[in-house]
Structure 1
Amino acid sequence: MSPESRSQATAAGIILLGAALVIYFLPTIVLWIGNFSPVLAIFVGVCLIMAFFAVFWLRARYQRSRGK
């Protein structure tokens, strides 16, 4: 395994671990915020889910700009 592929695997693992933690705690977070405002809870839930995809999109753009 080359150092570059090891770095990519580590980055993907950290991203997936972070996403798993957010998704695991998402219902608790949304229900807690929903006590104050249901609309805000929906907005926060959507933002947390979209952040998962945004990280991979930004990473792909960065790698594309580096010519890989």
Structure 2
Amino acid sequence: MDSDTRNAATAAAVILLVFGLAAYFLPTIMLAAGKVSTVLAAIIAVIFMVGLFVVLWLRGRSQRKKGL
């Protein structure tokens, strides 16, 4: 395994770990926020999903630039 492959694997593992933990605790966070406001709970879910896609999009752009 060369250093580029190792770095890519490490980055993927960190992304999976962070968003996996966030997804694990997301229902608890949403239930707590839902006691305050259902709209707030929905906004938290949207922020989580948008954050996931933004991180993956930025990672893809970074990988594409390195390939050129």
TM-score, normalised on structure 2?
A: 0.90
Partner of 1:31: 31
Partner of 1:42: 42
Q: Which protein is richer in helix relative to its size?
A: 2
Give the number of the structure with larger relative contact order, counting CA–CA contacts within 8 Å between residues 6 or more apart: 1
Stretches of structure 2 that go unaligned for 5 or more consecutive residues are none
Q: Letter of the 2:38 partner, please give it.
A: P
Q: Letter of the 1:20 partner, please give it.
A: G
**C-alpha deviations, 1:17-56, integer Å up to 9, x for none?**
1111011000000011111111011011111122112111
SS at match of 1:66: helix
Stretches of structure 1 that go unaligned for 5 or more consecutive residues are none
> Alignment identity in percent?
47
The whole-number CA distance in structure 2 between the counterparts of 1:17 and 1:51 is: 14
Aligned length: 68
- Two-structure CA RMSD over aligned residues (Å): 1.2
Q: Letter of the 1:18 partner, please give it.
A: V
